[in-house]
Amino acid sequence: MTAELDKTRIPQHIAIIMDGNGRWAMDRGLDRTFGHKAGLDNLENVTTLCSNLGVKYLTVYAFSIENFDRPAYEVEALMGLVLSFIKMDLFHNNNVSFHVVGDRDRLPKSVQDKLRSMEEETAMYDGMAMTIAMSYSSKQELVNATKLIARKVQNGEMSADDINEETIRQHLWTSWMPDPDLLIRTGGEVRISNYLLWQCAYSEFYFCDTYWPDFNEEALHKAIESYQSRQRRFGKTEAQVEEEVKVKK
Ligand code: IPE
Ligand code: IPE
Ligand code: MG
């Protein structure tokens, strides 16, 4: 076990790019789809860990719009896994609500229905909000928001001059959640792959080589420790931020 975490500075919102499933499976001589199965199993573990730590929002990247360009058998296998994944006890036992962000219309109808029923069945839980980004593209999310706003301007509901950052935020699929404090990417790549581009403007980034199915409690603690060792300045100077902390205490 790693050092104790500072319980007063647990990130409110953790976003994760769950990468490395395919390589995890291939290292074991298995088909890539076994990696996705192991990855979904691990999502259950990490959801429980985050909920126990007091994280309020966990938003995980499970499938990008670009991922539809993978071989059809892999896409089909993934959709099938989503249908069978995550026992509902995970939500019932941990007071966790389930949500989806992404372009749902591109998903098979059976997957859309399953995700919708999971959302409805867990809507009353007010512990942690667990969101899965499925058929997600941050650029598409921004295009969608732009269209919604343009229509309002066209209908005379608002004027173009009134558009500000808050207007855009309110029209994103993620409008109901705060921005991520910590973004974790597993699997060794150091890129954002079209994930939460607007929302991560001031998130702390943490990249690790561990493949997603192996990302366990110790790995999660390391990521949070790294987060806790940083000073978030939001454009201000180090001295200004230190002063603000003193005044709060
Ligand atoms: C992430 O793992 C899951 C999805 C993108 C669906 P990958 O499938 O990208 O695994 P690697 O990166 O090929 O190892
Ligand atoms: C990003 O992983 C998307 C998910 C983890 C769901 P990818 O493996 O698709 O990302 P790239 O293509 O390597 O950037
Ligand atoms: Mg990958």
> What is the pLDDT confidence band of residue 85, given thresholds at 50, 70 and 90?
confident
pLDDT at 203: 98
Measured CA distances, 113 to 40, 45, 99 (Å): 19, 24, 13
Is residue 27 annotated as part of the catalytic site, yes or no?
A: no
Mean of the pLDDT values across residues 137-152? Answer: 98
pLDDT at 83: 84
Mean of the pLDDT values across residues 26-52? Answer: 97
pLDDT at 3: 64
Q: Which domains does the chain have, with CATH numbers?
A: 8-137+177-248 (3.40.1180.10)
pLDDT tops 70 at residue 128: yes
| Residues framing ligand 1 (Cβ under 6 A) | 18-23, 63, 67, 78, 187
Q: Which of 21, 31, 42, 67 is catalytic?
A: 67
Binding site membership of 61 for ligand 2 (Cβ less than 6 Å): yes
What is the pTM assigned to this prediction?
0.97
Is residue 19 annotated as part of the catalytic site, yes or no?
A: yes
Mean of the pLDDT values across residues 167-191? Answer: 98
Minimum-distance ligand to the CA of 61?
Answer: 2
pLDDT at 1: 52
Cβ atoms of residues 214 and 24 within 8 Å: yes
Mean of the pLDDT values across residues 101-115? Answer: 96
Mean of the pLDDT values across residues 202-216? Answer: 98
Number of DSSP helices (H) and strands (E) in the chain, helices first: 9, 6
pLDDT at 2: 55
Residue having the nearest C-alpha atom to atom 11 of ligand 2: 193
Percent of the chain with pLDDT over 70: 99
Minimum-distance ligand to the CA of 69?
Answer: 2
Measured CA distances, 153 to 142, 168, 170 (Å): 16, 13, 15
Beta-carbon-side half-sphere exposure of residue 173 (alpha carbons within 13 Å): 24
Binding site membership of 64 for ligand 2 (Cβ less than 6 Å): yes
What separation in Å is there between the alpha carbon of 127 and the centre of ligand 3? 30
Mean of the pLDDT values across residues 142-169? Answer: 98
Residue having the nearest C-alpha atom to atom 1 of ligand 2: 193
pLDDT tops 90 at residue 36: yes
pLDDT tops 90 at residue 219: yes
Residue 37: strand, helix, or coil: helix
